[in-house]
């Protein structure tokens, strides 16, 4: 299956630096062994193909259930239907970790709202910080 079968474009890809970092973290460094650019590009193409395949199948499952949003359970079912049941546990664990990370980010983002300060007071404090930083910058090195 290719992107074209799903109405996609050839522009689908993953960041090369990210893939290289993942590969270097997973593979044990061995003297004289290198991961070539061609191998990295092939791995990226395989990953995009895999993601496209799972997404397409999960979308089909969601549509059959008359859902408009693909949920975790649709990915779970798609992996099983496509013959990848060994990935389900790890995918669900990663989904849980991601959900937990989002919760902690929401708490940090909500910190300003919980400060109890008015928008005007927050703006005043921000302006004061800007003035202080500008003054320090204009003084030059100490």
Q: Which is nearest to 20 in space by CA: 47, 2, 1? A: 47
- Alpha carbon distances (Å) from 21 to 1, 43, 47, 69: 27, 13, 15, 31
Digits of tens for pLDDT over the chain (142 positions)? 444 454 555 678 899 999 888 888 887 766 777 788 999 999 999 999 999 999 999 999 999 999 999 999 999 999 999 999 999 999 999 999 999 888 877 666 566 666 778 888 888 999 999 998 998 888 877 6
Q: Which residue has the tokens 């003035």?
A: 131
Whether the Cβ atoms of residue 1 and residue 56 lie closer than 8 Å to each other: yes
* Residue 111: predicted pLDDT: 67
Q: Which is nearest to 73 in space by CA: 86, 61, 82, 84? A: 61
Q: Which is nearest to 13 in space by CA: 36, 42, 38? A: 42
Cβ within 8 Å of residue 25, ≥6 positions away: none
> CA–CA separation, 14 vs 11, rounded Å?
10
Whether the Cβ atoms of residue 73 and residue 80 lie closer than 8 Å to each other: no
């Amino acid at each position: 299956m290719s992107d074209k079968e799903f109405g996609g474009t050839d522009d689908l890809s993953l960041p090369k630096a990210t893939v290289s970092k993942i590969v270097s973290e997973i593979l044990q460094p061995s003297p004289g062994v290198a991961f070539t650019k061609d191998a990295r590009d092939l791995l990226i193409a395989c990953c995009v193909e895999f993601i496209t395949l799972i997404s397409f199948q999960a979308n089909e499952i969601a549509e059959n259930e008359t859902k408009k949003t693909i949920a975790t359970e649709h990915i779970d079912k798609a992996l099983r239907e496509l013959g990848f049941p060994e990935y389900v546990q790890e995918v669900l664990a990663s989904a849980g970790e991601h959900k937990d990370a989002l919760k902690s980010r929401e708490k940090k983002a909500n910190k300003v709202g919980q400060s109890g300060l008015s928008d005007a007071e927050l703006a005043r404090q921000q302006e004061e910080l800007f003035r202080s930083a500008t003054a320090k910058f204009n003084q030059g090195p100490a």
